[in-house]
Amino acid sequence: EVQLVESGGGLVQPGGSLRLSCATSGFILSSYEMNWVRQAPGKGLEWVSYLSGGGGIKYYTDSVQGRFTISRENAKNSVYLQMNSLRVEDTAIYYCARSHHPAYCSGGNCWAFDIWGQGTMVTVSS
Amino acid sequence: QSALTQPASVSGSPGQSITISCTGTSSDVGSYNLVSWYQQHPGKAPKLIVYDVNKRPSGVSNRFSASKSGNTASLTISGLQAEDEADYYCCSYADSSSSYVIFGGGTKLTVL
């Protein structure tokens, strides 16, 4: 069974750091691009970051650029999100999401997320 | 980059059809056939139901269909069922300096 399981969330003070982990199973991680998407309480979805299969290409939404770092260890079937200088507005459920395989997409990366974890809650508060 | 615009809520009776619109700009929906749709039940993770504007992943009911015209994408659900009651989000690749991916604000579907 294809599965993503996030961990590492919790309560942190503004300015603090957290490292989220996403354990994957049921597929070859190196063959897939991965993402983090967040959802503030009662709000909509917000894409946070993207990482290529080999780990060499990374993208971030503006609001986290320079503060968050996405990474992966394919041998450990894991993806990570290092979050530094956390702000109150970073409070959200953070989902790990797999990109739909390019083989199914008309032009390569279709920027669609076909497998999601259950999410891990990050609360930034003093 | 602002979120894509969706109606806050739509409703329909069992068996009916409903359509949810998703309006973007020429920098996102209008320029790329990279629109996807997600269904999210309360307390659950989102589920991909449409990608590449109108393709359904394996296992998704053919009651879900989608299209795009200009800067607006649309999701239609036919033969409404009670289990379709959920939040629906559109999403598009964006040629933006602020984000590569933009979601809509979400639409709450109520099955009457």
Q: Give the residue-averaged pLDDT of B84-107.
A: 93
Residues of chain A contacting B45 with CB distance shorter than 8 Å: 95, 116-119
Query: Within an 8 Å CB–CB cutoff, is residue B24 touching chain A?
Result: no
Q: Which chain A residues are within 8 Å of B105, Cβ to Cβ?
A: 44
Q: Is B108 on the interface with A (CB under 8 A)?
A: no
Percent of chain A with pLDDT over 90: 90
Q: What is the pLDDT of residue B102?
A: 96
Instruction: Take residue B80 and report the two structure tokens written for it.
Output: 């409404």
DSSP labels for A8-53?
Answer: --EEE-TT--EEEEEEEESS-GGGS-EEEEEE-TTS-EEEEEEE-T
Q: For residue B34, give the nearest of A44, A110, A117 by CB distance.
A: A110
* Interchain contact, A119 vs B3, CB within 8 Å: no
Q: How far is B50 from chain A (nearest CA, A)?
A: 9
Contact B36 A95 (CB under 8 A): no
Q: How many Cβ pairs closer than 8 A exist between chain A and B?
A: 76
- pLDDT level of residue B68 (50, 70, 90 thresholds): very high
B29: number of Cβ within 10 Å: 29
Residue A86 has pLDDT above 70, yes or no: yes
Residue where the block lists tokens 């990570």 = A80
Of B108, B64, B58, B105, the C-alpha closest to B86 is: B108
**Whose CA is closest to A52, among A8, A98, A87?**
A98
Q: What is the per-residue pLDDT across B23-48, written as a single tens digit (0 to 9) for each?
A: 999 999 999 999 999 999 999 999 99
Spatial separation of the C-alpha atoms in residues A76 and A93, rounded to whole Å: 24
pLDDT of residue B25: 94
Q: How many residues does chain A have?
A: 126
Give Cβ neighbours of residue B93 (< 8 Å, ≥ 6 apart). A111, B28, B32, B34, B100, B101
For β-strands A45-51 and A58-60, DSSP reports them as antiparallel
Whole-number pLDDT of residue B1: 64
A100 contacts in B (CB within 8 Å)? Answer: 48, 51, 57
